[in-house]
Structure 1
C-alpha cells in the first residue's frame, strides 16, 4: 500500500500548481500565499485547524485544506493530488482518529513532518460529557442465560473506556469512536494547540519563530476572550440540557456545566433507532426542552420529527467541522460567538 501511495503522490506533484482549486493546492478563499511562494506549507483536513494554522502562521505560511467546502470531514477520501500535497508539505497538522484517510496518508508519507493534536492535548473518550439515549437497550439491565444481570459486562466496558483514555493521553491508538476529536469546541484546548503549533513552526523556520510566537499569543488572547463570554453568557440559565443530532459537543458542554443529550453518537453517520427517537422525545417533554439542535453538515429530518412530536424548535448549533451558508458566522471566532447566542436563547439564559 505504501508503494501505491508513493507512486500516486509522485505522479501528482507535477499537477499541483496546474490544478489547484477549491481550497486544495492553494489557500481556501484566496487567503495567504501560494505554496510555491510561501516560507512554509501546512496541510490540514478540518476547518478549525485550518483557521489556527492561518492565524498562527501569518502571511508567510500557506495552508492547504484537504476537505472541500460543504463536505462532511469525517467522509474525506484523498485523491492522488492531495496525497502529493501532503507529501510535499512542511507540516501535516491533523487530529488522529478524525479522518482515517488522513491518518493513513500521514503515517505513510509524512510521519516525520506531522503535528497530531492528540499528542498535544488529552482527548475525551467518545461520549464523555453527556449520554446517548438508547444505550440502555444495548448495555442496560439485561439478564444473562443464568438470570443474572450483566454487571460484569458493564464493568468491562468501563475498563475498556479507561484504557482508551490512557491511550489517548499517550498519543497512541486513536481509532475513531474511541476518542472524541472535537477538541476545538474547548477554547482552552485550542489555546494549548496554538502554542504547540507556534513552537513547531518556529522549529521549521527559526527566522520567523518570534512572529509565530506572537501570533500564537494573539490567538490565545482572542480565545480567552471568547471563553470569558461563554462563562458570563451561560452563568445563569433556566435549562442546561443540550439535545443534539450527534454527540460532538462534549468539550463545550462539559466545560460550561451543560448536559449533552445525543440523538446518535459521536459518528454523524450513525442512524438512531425508532426507540432512541422515542426516548429523546420523552426526554424533551419531561425536561421542558424547547430546542433540538441540528448541524449545518447533517440532515435535520430526525430533529424535525422530534420537534414535531414535542413542539420544540429546531436550531443550528455548529460543531465547526466546516463553514457553510448555514453556519452562524464566517470564521471560527464568529461561529463560536454565534453558537453562544443560540445556546443562550435555547437555554433561557439571563
Structure 2
C-alpha cells in the first residue's frame, strides 16, 4: 500500500484540534439521541442500516464508487471514529487510514469484523488456479472480502446485533427482528448462488483483482486474478502473460473488471485474446450504477448473473 496512506489517519487526527477550534467541537453534528454507527466500507454500512433501522444513524467512511484500499480520512471522519461513533465497524489490515484512527483509541465500541470469520490466504497453486487457505484472523495477507460470501455476512450480522443491543438495550427486540430479516435475505442469496452456479461449462473466472476468494471457495469456483489483494498495485507484464495463458487453457470467455479501478488492463487482455468484458463488483463501496443493483443484495444478484453468463451456466 502507498506509505502516504499509512500516515493519513495520524495526520488527520492531528488536525482535529484545529477543527474543534473552528466548530466548537470535533463533531458539529447535533445529537439525535440515536446510536451512532461508523462503517469503514459499504457492506457493513448496509448491514448496520438493516439491523439498526430507525434507532441508528450510520455513516459510511468510503464514498459511493470509492476504492477501499485507497481510502484517506478527513479530520472530521477521524473524529467520527475516535469520538463520535458509538459503534465502529471495520476490518483490520485492510484500510491503513482506518487502522490508524482506531489505533488512537475510540470513545465507543470498535468491532473488528476480521476476528469473526476464518480468513482466507489466497495463493496460487502450481496448476495456475487460485486456492484459498484459512489463516490466522490477524494475518495481514488474508483476503478481507468476506462479505462476498453471504453466509459470512450472517455471522457479522449476529455480532452487530449483539453490539447494538449492548449499547442500546431498549432496542433489543428491534435489533433481533431486523437481524432475522436480513439473515433470511442473505440465506436466500446464498441459495440463488448455489443453484445458479451448480451446472456450468467452466468454473474459472478472471478478475481485475484478487477480491473473490470467499465467493470462489463458497461456490466451487476458481479465481484467476490480474492483480493481487491491493487493487491499486498494477500487474507486471509477466503476470498479464500468465493470465492470458490461463484464460486460453481454461476456455475463459470473459475478462471481468470493476468500476472503481481502471478497466484498461482487463480490456487489453480481452482485446488481445478476442474475449468479452463485463463487470464483477467487489462491493466495497455503495453502488453508483443502480442498473446493476441499488444495494448489497442487488449487486450480489447482478454479479451472479455475470458469472452465469461468462461460465455458461444452465
State the TM bucket, normalised to the shorter chain: 0.7 to 0.9
In structure 1, C-alpha distance between the alignment counterparts of 2:22 and 2:306, rounded to whole Å: 44
In structure 2, C-alpha distance between the alignment counterparts of 1:290 and 1:299, rounded to whole Å: 20
In structure 2, the CA distance between the partners of 1:19 and 1:134, relative to structure 1 (3 Å rule), is farther
Q: 1:202 aligns with which of 142, 146, 165?
A: 165
In structure 1, C-alpha distance between the alignment counterparts of 2:313 and 2:128, rounded to whole Å: 29
- The 5-angstrom pairing of residues 28-43 of structure 1 reads 36-43=31-38
In structure 2, the CA distance between the partners of 1:131 and 1:211, relative to structure 1 (3 Å rule), is farther
Larger Rg: 1 or 2?
A: 1
Partner of 1:272: 235
* TM-score where L is the length of structure 2: 0.88
Partner of 1:113: 109
Q: 1:222 aligns with which of 185, 189, 202?
A: 185
**Structure 1 unpaired stretches of 5+:** 26-33, 136-160
In structure 1, C-alpha distance between the alignment counterparts of 2:116 and 2:188, rounded to whole Å: 22
Q: 1:260 aligns with which of 199, 215, 223?
A: 223
How far apart are residue 326 of structure 1 and its match?
7.5
Partner of 1:78: 73
How far apart are residue 250 of structure 1 and its match?
0.4
Q: Give me the CA root mean square deviation.
A: 2.9
Partner of 1:53: 48
In structure 2, C-alpha distance between the alignment counterparts of 1:12 and 1:277, rounded to whole Å: 46
How far apart are residue 18 of structure 1 and its match?
11
* TM-score where L is the length of structure 1: 0.79
Find out whether 1:184 has 2:147 as its counterpart: yes
**Structure 2 unpaired stretches of 5+:** 1-6
Q: What is the aligned length?
A: 303
Q: Which shows bigger deviation, 190-199 or 107-116?
A: 107-116
In structure 2, C-alpha distance between the alignment counterparts of 1:188 and 1:16, rounded to whole Å: 43
Find out whether 1:333 has 2:282 as its counterpart: no
How far apart are residue 44 of structure 1 and its match?
1.3
Secondary structure, aligned partner of 2:226: strand
How far apart are residue 70 of structure 1 and its match?
2.5
Partner of 2:86: 90
